[in-house]
């Protein structure tokens, strides 16, 4: 693996003097993280997780993954937010978006409980027909509505199909003591994995939350932890100029103060679509509070150059881009055509990746000229260790960046607002007063 962060395209927007100007602030944010005395300091379990994790549980994860791989055709992963995005991101990052169609000895893996769509649920139920199924239900709180509904549906399906043996096909990842899911595990005897108290949902991909589904997909989780451990080591120490993670955190804040309100994460390979979704949760939930924070958005190039590319080139100048440039020469060449009816022979014999790289370079320059600053992470492979490294790079960057911004990067109080209203509207016991108020507001709206 080789990981590189570069700000070389950014020079006309953020220079060394800009970095020097925020260097003290950056150092103070790093100290706050290292000395563990900032807001949210009871959620810093992710910092040492790549080296300091429960080795017995890690072995149990591998054993469970083996058992699941041997006993099912379809593996259904139930979870939402931080209990979903990391696993799916990792699997697609390493294996691509079509992994479910490969006959590579891995079960098909479907994710449910990450929305409230009955048609999505029906589709996955249909995909399970006539197949052996195992389920991993993941919820840190053990009380989240979307996965709870999905678990009810799939637990019933397994019980109908396997009777008492259904419990051997259910694997739960949750809090060690609290929540309705924990009570169900205790009552029904499911094999259980624990989400550490000091690791928040969006920082949990390197716990059992992500590791079990990732291992079931046949991905080497030792290597993934190894990549994260490498990042932990390499991204400790140094300063705003030498530590890429600190530089990225500082650049984000500098651009924000220059009036940029949106950060677009750009990947030039659709295998990273879910990595972008994972990143959006990590950055959006960590920084979007107290009326502050860059709005994290994402695009896939060159696909979105044919749609959002227009806005990015010429729309309101409120954004910057962070590229993840996947640069993997793999020998896939564009064929020669003796008739050259499509006029493409100037590309014949060139690798597809070469064309992708030229698209990347051309876009970086065009967007710079259009007033959109950009920096880039370069990847030369999409391996498990690359993913582990990338995860740690972004987790540490958002923690430092969040402290520079003056917010708590580890809470998510805003997520509760919709839940309160939804529960009241659904007549959940305990929400009677809220329900009356909401009914009146709805009647007033007409």
Per-residue x/- mask for ligand PA5, residues 385 to 414, rule CB under 6 A?
A: ---------------------------x--
Residue from 45, 86, 196, 200 binding ligand PA5 (CB under 6 A): 200
- Residue 145 as a binder of ligand PA5 (CB under 6 A): the answer is no
Min dist CB 419 to ligand PA5, Å, is 9
**365 within 8 A of 311, measured Cβ to Cβ:** no
CB atoms within 10 A of CB 57: 16
**DSSP designation for 334:** P
- Residue 144 as a binder of ligand PA5 (CB under 6 A): the answer is yes
Residue from 38, 50, 86, 147 binding ligand PA5 (CB under 6 A): 147
Token representation of residue 386: 């690359």
Q: With CB under 6 A as the contact rule, which of the stretches 48-56, 135-143, 318-326, 435-443 interacts with ligand PA5?
A: 135-143
Cβ-based nearer residue to ligand PA5, 174 or 383: 174
* Contact positions with ligand PA5 (CB under 6 A) in 239-298: 285
Min dist CB 146 to ligand PA5, Å, is 8
Q: With CB under 6 A as the contact rule, which of the stretches 139-147, 186-194, 221-229, 424-432 interacts with ligand PA5?
A: 139-147
> What count of residues does the chain have?
446
**286 within 8 A of 340, measured Cβ to Cβ:** no
CA atoms within 13 A on the CB side of 434: 15
Min dist CB 82 to ligand PA5, Å, is 3
- Residue 173 as a binder of ligand PA5 (CB under 6 A): the answer is no
Cβ-based nearer residue to ligand PA5, 136 or 327: 136
Query: Which residue, chain included where needed, has tokens 């294996």?
Result: 95
- Residue 113 as a binder of ligand PA5 (CB under 6 A): the answer is no
Output the 3-class SS for 105-159.
CCCEEEEECCCCCHHHHHHHHHHHCCCCEEEEEEECCCCCHHHHHHHHHHHHHHH
Q: With CB under 6 A as the contact rule, which of the stretches 20-28, 195-203, 257-265, 361-369 interacts with ligand PA5?
A: 195-203
Q: Is 419 a catalytic residue?
A: yes
In 3-state terms, what secondary structure has residue 189?
coil
Cβ-based nearer residue to ligand PA5, 20 or 183: 183
* Contact positions with ligand PA5 (CB under 6 A) in 78-107: 80-83
Token representation of residue 203: 């920082």
| Interacting residues of 107 by C-beta distance below 8 A, sequence separation 6+ | 68, 69, 72, 73, 74, 75, 134, 216
Own/partner contacts of 175-179, CB < 8 Å, gap of 24 or more, are 175/140, 175/141, 175/142, 178/141, 178/142, 179/139, 179/140, 179/141, 179/142, 179/143
- Contacts to ligand PA5 by CB under 6 A: 80-83, 139-141, 144, 147, 200-202, 285, 412, 415
């Amino acid at each position: 693996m080789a990981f590189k962060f570069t700000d070389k395209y950014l020079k006309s927007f953020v220079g060394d003097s800009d970095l020097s100007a925020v260097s003290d602030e950056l150092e103070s944010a790093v100290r706050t993280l290292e000395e563990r005395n900032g807001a949210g300091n009871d959620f810093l379990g992710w910092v040492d997780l790549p080296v300091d994790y429960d080795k017995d549980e890690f072995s149990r994860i591998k054993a469970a993954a083996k058992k699941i791989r041997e006993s099912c055709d379809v593996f259904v992963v139930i979870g939402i937010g931080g209990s979903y995005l990391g696993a799916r991101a990792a699997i697609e990052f390493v294996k691509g978006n079509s992994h479910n169609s490969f006959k590579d000895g891995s079960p098909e893996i479907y994710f449910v409980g990450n929305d409230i769509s009955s048609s999505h649920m029906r589709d996955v139920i249909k995909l399970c027909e006539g197949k052996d199924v195992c389920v991993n239900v993941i919820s840190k709180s053990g009380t989240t509505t979307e996965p709870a509904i999905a678990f009810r549906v799939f637990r019933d399906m397994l019980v109908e199909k396997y009777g008492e043996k259904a419990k051997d096909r259910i694997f739960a990842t949750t809090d060690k003591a609290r929540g309705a899911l924990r009570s169900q595990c205790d009552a029904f005897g499911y094999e259980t994995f624990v989400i550490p108290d000091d690791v928040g949902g969006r920082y949990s991909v390197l716990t059992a939350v992500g590791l079990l589904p990732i291992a079931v997909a046949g991905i080497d989780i030792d290597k993934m932890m190894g990549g994260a451990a490498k990042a932990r080591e390499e991204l400790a120490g140094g300063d705003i100029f030498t530590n890429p993670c600190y530089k990225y955190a500082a650049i984000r804040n500098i651009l924000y103060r220059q009036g940029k309100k949106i950060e677009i994460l750009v990947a030039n390979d659709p295998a990273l679509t879910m990595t972008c979704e994972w990143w959006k949760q990590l950055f959006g939930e960590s920084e979007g509070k107290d009326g502050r924070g860059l709005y994290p958005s994402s695009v896939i190039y060159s696909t979105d150059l044919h749609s959002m590319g227009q806005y990015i080139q010429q729309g309101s100048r409120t954004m910057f881009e962070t590229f993840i440039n996947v640069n993997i020469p793999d020998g896939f060449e564009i064929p020669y055509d003796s008739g050259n009816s499509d006029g493409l022979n100037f590309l014949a014999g060139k690798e597809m990746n070469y064309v992708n790289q030229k698209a990347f370079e051309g876009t970086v320059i065009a967007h710079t000229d259009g007033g959109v600053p950009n920096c880039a992470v370069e990847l030369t492979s999409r391996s498990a260790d690359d993913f582990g490294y990338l995860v740690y790079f972004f987790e540490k960057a958002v923690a430092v960046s969040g402290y520079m911004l003056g917010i708590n990067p580890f809470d998510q109080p805003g997520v509760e607002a919709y839940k309160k209203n939804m529960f009241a509207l659904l007549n959940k016991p305990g929400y009677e007063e809220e329900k009356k108020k909401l009914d009146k507001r709805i009647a007033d709206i007409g």
